[in-house]
């Protein structure tokens, strides 16, 4: 979720056949609104998934499920359990929440992915407006307006916007 921005339900629904290491892609089937999308992966993500797959196959040589990612019992992950495990690991790692009652959640990784993508684009000086449809498609949104919600009120993005506003404009 951290490196793809996928929804939790999309992650647990991945089957082994949805990962194509040769092409470096994940096929997200039956996502929100019944759509499919193909996600390119960074080579380090491909290598990590290949290593995971080897460990999984050694531990579970006769798969109980076609799932790419499995539980400690070898069955498909349940999103509820993913959330519980994430919460436990976040506590063990002393990850702070935004507020006292708002602890880190797996879905926050999707928001972080969207914000990090936009920050990268800000820093490389590219045309952000023309790239927003790409981020929307990658996240599986119907349009960029649904992606902007993820980007609102991010302190890092607000700082970047302030920095850009303070930059002198070159004469035309």
- pLDDT value of residue 152: 67
Q: What is the mean pLDDT of the chain?
A: 87
Q: How many CB atoms lie within 10 A of CB 23?
A: 12
Most confident range, picked from 13-22, 30-39, 76-85, 162-171: 13-22
- pLDDT value of residue 168: 59
Quote the CA–CA distance of 70 and 16 in Å, as a whole number. 10
Return the higher-pLDDT residue of 75 and 138.
75
How would residue 103 be classed by pLDDT, with cut points 50, 70 and 90? Answer: confident
- Enumerate the domain spans of the chain: 1-100, 107-172
Fold adopted by 1-100: hpI Integrase; Chain A (1.10.443)
Quote the CA–CA distance of 20 and 45 in Å, as a whole number. 12
Return the higher-pLDDT residue of 47 and 106.
47
Sheet holding 19-20, edge to edge: 19-20, 25-28, 37-40
Question: What values do phi and psi take at 94, rounded to 5?
Answer: 55, 40
Closest CA to 37 of 144, 151, 142, 150: 142
Distance of CA 39 to the CA centre of its chain: 10
Mean pLDDT of 24-46: 91
Is pLDDT at 170 greater than 90 in this prediction? no
Quote the CA–CA distance of 6 and 27 in Å, as a whole number. 11
Positions marked catalytic: 7, 32, 107, 110, 141, 150
Alpha helices in 60-101 (DSSP H): 79-92
């Amino acid at each position: 979720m951290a490196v793809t921005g996928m929804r939790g339900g999309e992650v647990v629904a991945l089957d082994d056949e949805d990962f194509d290491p040769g092409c470096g892609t994940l096929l997200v089937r039956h996502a929100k609104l019944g759509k499919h999308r193909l996600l390119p992966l960074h080579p380090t993500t491909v290598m990590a998934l290949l290593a995971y797959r080897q460990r999984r196959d050694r531990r579970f040589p006769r798969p109980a499920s076609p799932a790419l990612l499995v539980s400690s019992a070898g069955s498909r992950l349940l999103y509820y359990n993913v959330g519980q495990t994430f919460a436990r690991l976040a506590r063990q790692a002393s990850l702070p929440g935004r507020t006292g009652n708002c602890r880190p959640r797996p879905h926050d990784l999707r928001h972080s992915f969207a914000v990090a993508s936009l920050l990268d684009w800000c820093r490389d000086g590219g045309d952000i407006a023309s790239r927003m449809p790409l981020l929307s498609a990658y996240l599986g949104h119907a349009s960029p307006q649904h992606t902007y919600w993820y980007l609102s009120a991010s302190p890092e993005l607000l700082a970047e916007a302030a920095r850009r506003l303070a930059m002198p404009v070159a004469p035309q």
